[in-house]
Structure 1
Amino acid sequence: MTYVITTLCIGSKDASCVEVCPVDAIHPSPEDDVYDEVEQLFIDPKLCIDCDACRTVCPMEAIYTKATVPPEQVPSIQQNAAFYAG
């Protein structure tokens, strides 16, 4: 079960989650060229190892497991996947 960053990240883009991810699955990082072009961060569903590190450090409480994303945030699942689809 992968993790998803919801739209609750918009306006914050706190990079604490990027720093703790052991597999570099969260992008864009502040060092990435597209960081300023996107409203929020995203978790690559193919790289996520379900370690829970990102969720525990998120000050916005914007990260959920795919199965526990609140109903109003379900579109975030596709948005995360689309960011990595190309």
Structure 2
Amino acid sequence: MAFIVTESCIQCKHTDCVEVCPVDCFYEGPNFLVINPNECIDCGLCEPECPEKAIYAEDELPPDQIHFVEINDDLSAVWPNITQKKEALPEAAKFSSIKNKMDLLKKD
């Protein structure tokens, strides 16, 4: 099992989780982070670090977020690896409470 980044991260992209990952399995897109499920060692260190509560163990994903398993897998294969904390997106606070952000996900 791996940990999965879900919809709450879109347009926020806090990177507190990246800083604690012992295997550097996070990948960065324009407005979202993903975890490579083949590299994740299921340590769980990232989950409590996410201020958006966007990270879940794969077997604990809410039903409406299950499609993010495939999204994390697919995008981690094409996005660059991120290993150090950066500033969150400028409008992260504005988007923090917004639900249903899938249409805002930028894959390029």
Instruction: Tell me the TM-score normalised to structure 2 length.
Output: 0.68
Instruction: Trace 1:3-82 onto structure 2 (pairs within 5 A).
Output: 3-28=3-28, 35=29, 38-82=30-74
Runs of at least 5 residues in structure 1 that lack an aligned partner in the other structure: 29-34
Shift of the alpha carbon at 1:7? Answer: 1.0
Shift of the alpha carbon at 1:75? Answer: 1.1
Moved over 6 A (4+): none
Structure 2 residue identity aligned to 1:16: D
CA contact (8 A) 2:4 2:58 kept: yes
Instruction: Tell me the TM-score normalised to structure 1 length.
Output: 0.84
Measured against aligned partners, the alpha-carbon deviations of 1:13-44 in whole angstroms (never above 9, x if no partner) come to: 0000111101000112xxxxxx4xx3210001
CA contact (8 A) 2:26 2:76 kept: no
Q: Kindly name which structure, 1 or 2, has the bigger radius of gyration based on alpha carbons.
A: 2
CA contact (8 A) 2:27 2:76 kept: no
Shift of the alpha carbon at 1:81? Answer: 0.6
**Alignment size in residue pairs:** 78
- In percent, how many aligned pairs have the same letter? 40
SS in structure 1 opposite 2:46? helix
Runs of at least 5 residues in structure 2 that lack an aligned partner in the other structure: 79-108
SS in structure 2 opposite 1:22? coil
RMSD, aligned α-carbons: 1.1
Structure 2 residue identity aligned to 1:8: S
Structure 2 residue identity aligned to 1:23: V
Distance 1:84 1:3 in 2: 13
